Structure 1
Amino acid sequence: MSYNEFSQEKLDKLIQIQDLFKKKFDIDAYENWFYDSESELLRLYNSDEDEIYFKYIPVGSYSREKKTWMWSWFNKSSIEKSKEKVLIIKEFGAKNHYEKLQEGTFPSDEFDAWEFTSICLDFLNGIGAYKVDSNGLDKFMVIMAVEDIDSKTVQQFKQKKVECAEHGPSRPAFVCQHLDCSTVRGFHEAFDTSKGMELEEDDDFQAWCDECEKVRSEHGGWNEESERFAQIKLVCENCYFELKEFNQISNN
């Protein structure tokens, strides 16, 4: 079977499943959406009293500006653990010589993106599909199940997120004004961190460069002077770990 025949078969199946999915959960009635990469939850809502939560698996993303597709398993900035499940599509593509299912990223269009989502829906036994638009980047998801989450999880889910132009919504992080990914400046943290780790209620990702650490030590810690030198800025969690990787590896 050619790839075009295979993908059309899956796309036809998606259309049928999606129709049932929309009718059962009245998807189009929700005006707002929000997703959390850490918990892999999608929230559709009109208000706090009119909402529904779904567990999802990320398929990939389509850049409308660059006209490119990227599979979720290839996206190093993604923290969603379930993206590894999408590798089954890559393995299937390799066995059947379907190039679009093997390459991590390549020139594409939105029609391709829906084809890929339909293939994942079938392989992963999803109940539907959903697309979110974040600053020109369309993120495609396979919906796996409705989630009846407790009040504590709801509270954590609704905690403030930062909207990053490159990575979409993510947890906030704080770094000094000097840190970037063009010049090595060292990397010091308030505590040891790892991407996707759980944080205590009062904790934040915080980092600063070698010069800031020198000034901080000279002033006996963080105070008005050392903070003025650092000029702490807000970034997203993904940007934070890109900065950490660049500065730490380059220092070795």
Structure 2
Amino acid sequence: MRNKDYEEYASKKYDELIESQEAFNSKFKLESYSNWFYDQESELLRVYNDDDDEIFFKYIPIGTYSLKSNTWLWSWENEHSIEKNKLKTLVVKQLGEKRDYEKLTKGLIDCDREECWDFVAISKSMINAIGVYCTNSKDLLTYKLLTKVFTDKDSSLIRMMKQKTVDCGNHGFRRPAFVCKHLNHKEKLGFEEAFDTHKGMDLDDEDSFAAWCDECEQVRLETDGWNEESEKFADIKLVCEECYFELKEFNKK
């Protein structure tokens, strides 16, 4: 009986979502934009075309769906979701606990892709939002509630977002960073940087996060700086900004 009650509730909220989303799409015409990028720290989504026609939205992450495992993961359960406002989705979990709707209380759920929209619809009915958006990256769908249009296009948040990005399998789209091949999470090797850094900092166009281990620094000094020999020893690799600061936290002495 409870399951039937949930199905009826989810169906009603889905119908409401379809109606509101049609009005949202009619106003903002997001289907006309070919690119997207979101920044977890600032909780901003950018949808844009190559000619810099763009719109920015503040968003709340609702959950992700893996096309490989056919599972839904609520954002409040997702350790890779660093958005602070994801905790707003706990109201959905509280509703599930109150009404005994298991699919709203379990962090990880086996389900069909179509059912994700039920979860999004229920979330939107409980959290104030103007629309929804789904991104697809490496077989992972990420569902977001869009809460408002962000109009301050001169802000440092937007300048940071529009810098070159890398698609990280663990952290999504983030700014690129570069580290030597030796840095890892198993053995502390030291952490030498091109300049002092902190997460979320603004970078000049010519700057990038770059770091190497103590052994690389010794080779660099012995060979009079970065050159063919020292660069070959370091064998620099590309990572994302989030990976960079995880390595920094682990390796610094």
Fold match by TM threshold 0.5: yes
**Which bin holds the TM-score, normalised by the shorter protein?**
0.7 to 0.9
Quote the residue 1:186 is aligned against. 189
1:177 aligns with 2:181: yes
Deviation at 1:116, TM superposition (A): 1.3
Quote the residue 2:167 is aligned against. 163
Quote the residue 2:113 is aligned against. 110
Q: 1:187 to 1:78 in 2, by over 3 A?
A: farther
Among 220, 230, 238, the alignment partner of 2:242 is 238
Among 31, 37, 40, the alignment partner of 2:40 is 37
SS across alignment from 1:86: helix
Q: Distance in 1 between matches of 2:60 and 2:133?
A: 10
SS across alignment from 1:58: strand
Quote the residue 1:62 is aligned against. 65
With 1-10 and 61-70 compared, the bigger mean Cα shift is at 1-10
Deviation at 1:36, TM superposition (A): 2.4
Q: Which amino acid aligns with 1:161?
A: T
Q: Distance in 2 between matches of 1:132 and 1:110?
A: 13
1:132 aligns with 2:135: yes
Among 8, 11, 28, the alignment partner of 1:8 is 11
Assess if the C-alpha contact under 8 Å between 1:178 and 1:185 holds in 2. Answer: no
With 220-229 and 34-43 compared, the bigger mean Cα shift is at 220-229
Q: Identity, % of aligned pairs? A: 47
User: Deviation per CA, 1:44-70, whole angstroms, max 9, x where unpaired?
Assistant: 223445322221111111110121222
Q: 1:132 to 1:233 in 2, by over 3 A?
A: same
Q: 1:53 to 1:178 in 2, by over 3 A?
A: same
Q: Superposition RMSD on alpha carbons, in Å? A: 2.9
TM-score, structure 2 length as denominator? 0.82
Q: Distance in 2 between matches of 1:46 and 1:162?
A: 18
Quote the residue 2:99 is aligned against. 96
SS across alignment from 1:151: coil
Q: 1:248 to 1:107 in 2, by over 3 A?
A: farther
Q: 1:88 to 1:213 in 2, by over 3 A?
A: farther
Quote the residue 1:142 is aligned against. 145
Q: 1:3 to 1:49 in 2, by over 3 A?
A: same
Quote the residue 1:73 is aligned against. 76
Q: Which amino acid aligns with 2:240?
A: C
TM-score, structure 1 length as denominator? 0.82
With 96-105 and 55-64 compared, the bigger mean Cα shift is at 96-105
Q: Distance in 2 between matches of 1:32 and 1:97?
A: 39
Among 101, 120, 124, the alignment partner of 2:123 is 120
**What are the ranges of 5 or more consecutive residues in structure 2 without an aligned counterpart?**
none
Q: 1:113 to 1:141 in 2, by over 3 A?
A: same
Assess if the C-alpha contact under 8 Å between 1:176 and 1:233 holds in 2. Answer: yes
Q: 1:177 to 1:49 in 2, by over 3 A?
A: closer
Aligned length, in residue pairs = 246
Among 22, 26, 29, the alignment partner of 1:26 is 29
